Amino acid sequence: MSDGAVRASAIGWRLPPFYCPIESPVHPRVDELERRAISWLDSTGIFRDETERAWSIATHSTDFSCRIIPYGRDEPLLLFIEWNHWAFALDDVWHDTGSADIRTAAIVDLNARISRSLEAPGSAMLGDSPFDAALEDLAARTRAMATPVQLRRVAEGMRDWLLGASWQVSNIERRVMPTLSDYVALRPSINGTRFSLSWSEIASGIEVPDSDLYSAPVQALTEAAGFIVSCDNDLFSYAKEDNQETTDQNIVNVLVHHDGSSPERALRDALAIRDRAMTLFLRLREQIAREADPELLRYLEALGHYISGCIRWMNAAPRYASPRNRYDLPVPGATYGITWRDTPSDPGTGPLPIASAAWWWDQLDATAQRRRNHRVSDLHREARVPEARTGGAGIAVGCSGAKARPDS
């Protein structure tokens, strides 16, 4: 995307350099999987016209899936790609329309029916539209493919995603911009982090025992990964959602709303928060890896692919690089042309001054002996993120208490 080609968003087309010292391989059969996924899409009849079809393909769901699961088996990876196409359609039509007329009750009812359609075969919880039939097909094939443990994790990931989407819609209906701490706590859910990672396990054949996967350090690492990806998504999707009836809930707008800062300043603060979380992710992942068995090590690798793969996917996905609110059709080859940096924009290593994220740092050996009190954030009120340190971007870690905060 070149400057001046179309109306720029409040944060501009030139995104700041990304700090992500993690390699991003891509599945070797990405082209073949793309062909098969589009063939399935065409068979479902869910598109009203060729324009809708073009924008579904513009999600680059295959590139997303093949980057976060670069070594996966073809059949489960293909099923995950198809799930993503369906989920993007759900997001655009129901969850994230930005409409002022949206009603939480309708979304909660829909989400409950979607969730039970996966868990209860033949429950007839949905209607008979092509969109509903596509979900039934995906659910049936997932039940047939997954082991009982894998199916439980997919179902849990779906519930987590749909819960986050319901919370987001409730904020829109009530005209509420969440606090930073509340936003950080729920943003990985809105992003579908655990749903995506459950497919990393299935497609890659990763079998992490519950005792390892649900341990506090691994859960903190998973949340941190989901938050980093969500921050990146907030930047790449900022232009796509800047003309909605209601102000989009993203980390930049959360900071602008509660701090009264400019979008440019909020972008710098958001990047510092994101990079501090990345530093934590790298340290905690290395710590966990020291005593991890081979299966857990593979899961740790999958978390890295999730972060690095998402950046590269969103950079070149027309859904973001040539957004629909500016173009009638996706622009082939559109890209943000991102750049990279070798060091984080915020050099600090201590906990972020955000109540809902502080426990991530508690899992580090070096900080385990100085656990902080976790205070519950006030409803929609928080303290301002401190000024950046002189000489560079940064976030002070000594800000006082009850109203500190964090963050698809």
Question: b/e for 239-251, b at 16 or more Cβ within 10 A?
Answer: bbbbeeebbbbbb
DSSP 352: P
Q: What is the DSSP letter of 310?
A: H
Is it the case that residue 247 has pLDDT exceeding 80? no
Residue 44's alpha-carbon distances to 135, 140, 164, 223, in angstroms, are 10, 15, 27, 34
Task: Report d(CA 275, CA 180) in Å as an integer.
Answer: 16
Residue 395 has pLDDT above 70, yes or no: no
Q: Write the DSSP symbol of residue 128.
A: S
Cα angle 98, 103, 105; round to 5:
140
Q: Give percent above pLDDT 70 in the chain.
A: 85
Query: Is 60 exceeded by the pLDDT of residue 350?
Result: yes
Number of C-beta neighbours around residue 260 at 10 A: 10
- A 10 A CB-CB count for 369 gives 6
Please provide the CATH number assigned to the domain covering 18-370.
1.10.600.10
CA distance 407 to 258: 13
Q: What is the CA radius of gyration of the chain?
A: 20
Mean pLDDT across 245-265: 88
pLDDT (0 to 100) of residue 384:
36
Task: Check if the beta carbon of residue 213 is closer than 8 Å to that of residue 285.
Answer: no
Nearest to 402 by CA among 368, 374, 360, 362: 374
Residue 76 has pLDDT above 70, yes or no: yes
Structure-token pair, residue 237: 């999707």
Separation of alpha carbons 306 and 64, rounded Å: 9
Roughly what angle, to the nearest 10 degrees, separates helices 130-145 and 148-173?
A: 150
Across the chain, what does the average pLDDT equal? 86
- Residue 45 and residue 172 in contact, taking contact as beta carbons nearer than 8 Å: no
- Span 306-327, pLDDT tens digits: 999 999 999 999 999 999 889 9
CA pair distance 307, 20, nearest whole angstrom: 8
Total Cβ atoms within 10 A of residue 264: 12
User: Closest Cα partner for 94 from 177, 185, 169?
Assistant: 169
Please determine, for residue 71, whether its predicted confidence score (pLDDT) is greater than 50.
yes
Confidence of residue 124 (pLDDT cuts 50, 70, 90): low
Instruction: Report pLDDT digits (tens) over 18-62.
Output: 999 999 999 999 999 999 999 999 999 998 899 999 999 999 999
**Token duo for residue 407:** 């963050």
Asked if residue 214 lies in contact with residue 162, where contact means CB atoms within 8 angstroms, the answer is no
Residue 108, phi then psi, degrees to nearest 5: -60, -45
Residues 6+ away with beta carbon under 8 Å from 303: 197, 221, 222, 225, 281, 285
Instruction: Give per-residue pLDDT as tens, 128-186.
Output: 889 999 999 999 999 999 999 999 999 999 999 999 999 999 998 888 999 999 999 99
Q: What is the pLDDT of residue 150?
A: 97
pLDDT for residue 406: 29
* Nearest alpha-carbon partner for 54 in 288, 293, 322, 255: 322
User: Helix crossing, 251-259 with 216-236: angle to 10°?
Assistant: 80
**pTM for this prediction:** 0.88
pLDDT band at 231 (very low <50, low <70, confident <90, very high): very high
Cα(99)–Cα(97) distance, integer angstroms? 5
Check whether 360 has a pLDDT greater than 80.
yes
Angle among Cα 242, 68, 274 to the nearest 5 degrees reads 50
Assign 3-state DSSP to the chain and report helix, strand, coil percentages, each to 5: 60, 0, 40
Torsional sign, CA 24, 29, 34, 36: negative
pLDDT score, position 371: 35
Angstrom distances, CA of residue 374 to CA of 263, 396, 404: 29, 17, 10
Distance CA 392, CA 37 (A): 45
Q: What are the domain boundaries of the chain?
A: 18-370
* Nearest alpha carbon to residue 202 among 153, 140, 135, 160: 153
Q: For 389-405, what is the mean pLDDT?
A: 30
